[in-house]
Chains A and B, each alone.
Chain A
């Protein structure tokens, strides 16, 4: 069975603070893909990153960075120097096994305040 857990329901930070969003996944497959999406108040889902299970290199893209650790089945997302525009719901998702289904976590609502 596939499962994605985002234990943080809501996080509030002050602008310029760093914030880490946690994602823990479960799968029995050795080949799988992990994703992060951003859903701003407008509702549209924005693709941020995809990671496959064979690539444990951490990735940095501007203020965003991702820490993939197979040993703990985690794929955490850090925003450095947060900005008000980062306020959104962030979803972690997993694709494993056959078929096209992405299994989404319940999302973390991030609020960045001035």
Chain B
């Protein structure tokens, strides 16, 4: 499976600011995804990061709040904009394995706390 890294691993931010999270993969992958895991909760898909086109957002998530870039097949960023304490979560990127989107491997996550 691909090796996935995320930066930063954790951060504490003030409300009203924005944070950009980076996801780097050691090999080219077709599909990349961003998930959110709120404290003590399960994972929720935010969006699919599409290379060369706009991300595909799930219901309840919008581009203005979570802009995503995917400039190439090994890298993506997720920005959490105008943060509030409710945005405190772990943000994880994942990539599809050789089996397609049915086999997703996850990065180590970014633990975000908004004060």
Contacts and interface: CB of A to CB of B under 8 A. Distances in A.
B57 to A, nearest CB: 11
Contacts of A102: 43, 45, 104
Interface string B79-114: 000000000001010101101011111111101000
Given A50-B99, A100-B31, A100-B101, A45 B92 contact: yes
A50 B103 contact: yes
Nearest to A101: B45
Contacts, number: 51
Bin chain B's interface residue count: 20 to 34
Given A50-B102, A104-B43, A43 B108 contact: yes
B58 A101 contact: yes
Contacts of A44: 106-109
A100 B45 contact: yes
B2 to A, nearest CB: 11
Given A47-B104, A52-B102, A106-B42, 7 more contacts: A35-B104, A44-B107, A45-B92, A91-B43, A95-B102, A100-B48, A104-B42
Interface of A: 33, 35, 37, 42-47, 50, 52, 91, 93, 95, 100-102, 104-107
11 contacts: A43-B90, A43-B109, A44-B107, A44-B108, A47-B106, A52-B102, A93-B43, A100-B45, A100-B101, A101-B45, A102-B43
